Amino acid sequence: MRKVRVLFLGLIFISLFSFKAYGSDELGIIPKPLECEKGVGEFIVNEETSIYVQGKNKEETEELYNIGVLLQEKIYKGTGYNLNIIKWAKPSSGSIFLTTLDGRIGLGYEGYNLKVLEDSVHINGLKPEGVYRGIQTLIQLLPAEIEGIKESKNVKWNIPVLSIIDKPEYEYRGFMIDVARHFFSVEEIKRQIDIASSYKINKLHLHLSDDQGFRLQIKKWPKLTSIGGQTEVGGGKGGYYTQEQFRDIVLYAKERYVEIIPEFDMPGHTNAMLASYEFLNSNGRRKESYTGTKVGFSSLMCRSEATYTVIEDIIKEVAEISPSKYIHIGGDEANATSKEDYSYFIDRVSKIVLKYGKIPIGWDPIDTVTQLKTPIILQNWKDSNEDAKKKGMKMIISRANKAYLDMKYDRETPYGTDWAGYNSIENAYNWDPTDFGPKTLLLGLEAPLWTETITNFEELDYMVYPRLLGYAEIGWTPKEMRSFSEYKKRLEINKRRLDLKGVNYYKG
């Protein structure tokens, strides 16, 4: 009798779990949540709905309040309803409750539990960050008109009754914009942060310097931007961020739980620096500005102390205004630097970065530097990371043929390039970071947009979307739960949202 009962209970348990596994596909959520159990009925947002926030302590409650404000603004824009936000742990019926009380440790800092009942919505995370991720899911559950730039009338703002338990597969789910080849304004960057974070992207890497431009004010060395910041590919006027503007981007991103990672590409890709100061050149003369698209021709002087003086000042000033634990030091395509000089340079610069409390990241072949003893992270874009694997270096995967947003979708794509092949929506989706390294070494992935051929934000949108949604999912959803044929359906549902957001995405 007892055995039968155990068997019976076991069967109930198993069926509960299999019921739990899916149910979110037809809802179109991207990235796909880990577990979604759909129920019956719906919660309806109306002008009476309130947002309650409550953390485990005062700081968390404040942080949740700010997250509540973002949700309130989003709902106001789409619906015209101006919801109340209340700090209080006992939400009344008809409310949305954002809390870190009883957040589950197993879900990590970014995980969340979303419960939609007919009379209330609960988003629970261990940390406010998880609650923010949960809100992005909630927004995708509302009718698409929520994405509108203007309020929509006559829409029933319903959310289906369900329960979602969710957390990311990788901690690093990145996107890069090269603001050096073509400059993009603070507003343009903020817009990208908004869109990317709505798909749970959590890192934005800014490629702040290259041959064609140096884009961050350095107070000690003003010519880096007064000369080096005035050019871009094709001869346009370029531009740069003042430190205040950079802080503004960082803060905006932080409020949306996106970490800004600054990059200064060295020792190659440095013509803009060499054009700014004569003493950085061996002949004591400034280089001509460069607005073409060749790579691999410039190099800092790796045995000159003057070079390290300027680099240290750059790192020092950036470390002060950038809360990220990382500083990216480039290190790619240093074809005009000897192997010995390259090794000496990378080792020395990574030590400077560490001295200012940051962890260096570099493109390959940074992993081949033999004497490197410091912790350094490899951003793997080419076909080898063998040294990194041997040395046990942590990695971010950005293989050009899989993850480059400047690769054309196909032959007809009007912008971009194809040196690593075409990168269709399917090709961009159909891979996993573990194809390129052992899970234990992988921080995650990043999709870089190089902008030699991208001159404005419409073109930028076109190359980034919808591929970035796929990268967001690769980073968030475990490999075993992903299939392109199923993803395609959710992507179709999301296209209407991209339309309403005003994103100029590729429609092929």
What's the sign of the alpha-carbon dihedral 350, 352, 357, 363? negative
The DSSP 8-state label assigned to residue 216 in this structure reads: B
C-beta of 249 vs 405, nearer to ligand TNX: 405
Tell the residue number behind the tokens 């509108």, with chain if given. Answer: 148
Tokens of 117: 């009942």
Give the pairing type, strands 120-124 and 112-116. antiparallel
Q: How far is the CB of 450 from ligand TNX (least distance, A)?
A: 3
Residue 96 burial (C-beta neighbours within 10 Å; 0-12, 13-18, 19+): buried
Tokens of 364: 């390959």
Put residue 333 in one of left, alpha, beta given phi > 0 → left and psi -120 to 50 → alpha: left
C-beta of 47 vs 383, nearer to ligand TNX: 383
Cα–Cα distance, 323 to 45 (Å, whole number):
37
Q: How far is the CB of 431 from ligand TNX (least distance, A)?
A: 17
C-beta of 240 vs 381, nearer to ligand TNX: 381
Element (H, E) at 105: none
C-beta of 209 vs 477, nearer to ligand TNX: 209
Distances (CA, A) of 328 to 162, 268, 390: 41, 14, 22
Q: How far is the CB of 485 from ligand TNX (least distance, A)?
A: 29
Q: How far is the CB of 77 from ligand TNX (least distance, A)?
A: 36
Cβ 208 vs Cβ 215: under 8 Å: yes
Give the pairing type, strands 158-166 and 359-363. unpaired
Q: How far is the CB of 397 from ligand TNX (least distance, A)?
A: 13
How many helices and strands, by DSSP H and E, does the chain display?
A: 15, 17
Three-state secondary structure call for residue 330: strand
Q: How far is the CB of 245 from ligand TNX (least distance, A)?
A: 24
Q: How far is the CB of 361 from ligand TNX (least distance, A)?
A: 11
C-beta of 144 vs 177, nearer to ligand TNX: 177
Provide CB contacts within 8 A for 171, sequence distance 6+: 110, 202, 443, 444
Encode burial over 288-317: b for 16+ CB neighbours within 10 A, e otherwise: ebbbeeeeeebbbbbeeeebbebbbebbeb
Give the DSSP per-residue string, 445-502: EEEEE--TT--SHHHHHHHHTTHHHHHHHHHHS-GGG--HHHHHHHHHHHHHHHHHHT
Element (H, E) at 248: helix 243-255
Q: How far is the CB of 452 from ligand TNX (least distance, A)?
A: 6
* Binding interface with ligand TNX (CB under 6 A): 295, 332-333, 363, 381, 404, 406, 417, 450, 452
C-beta of 110 vs 333, nearer to ligand TNX: 333
Find out whether the peptide bond into 375 is cis, omega within 30 degrees of 0: no
Among 139, 67, 77, 119, smallest CA distance to 98 is for 67
Q: How far is the CB of 213 from ligand TNX (least distance, A)?
A: 13
Q: How far is the CB of 393 from ligand TNX (least distance, A)?
A: 16
C-beta of 63 vs 406, nearer to ligand TNX: 406
C-beta of 132 vs 404, nearer to ligand TNX: 404
Cβ 170 vs Cβ 432: under 8 Å: no
Q: How far is the CB of 291 from ligand TNX (least distance, A)?
A: 14
C-beta of 97 vs 345, nearer to ligand TNX: 345
C-beta of 164 vs 176, nearer to ligand TNX: 176
Tokens of 475: 């980073």
Q: How far is the CB of 342 from ligand TNX (least distance, A)?
A: 14
C-beta of 138 vs 428, nearer to ligand TNX: 428
C-beta of 331 vs 470, nearer to ligand TNX: 331
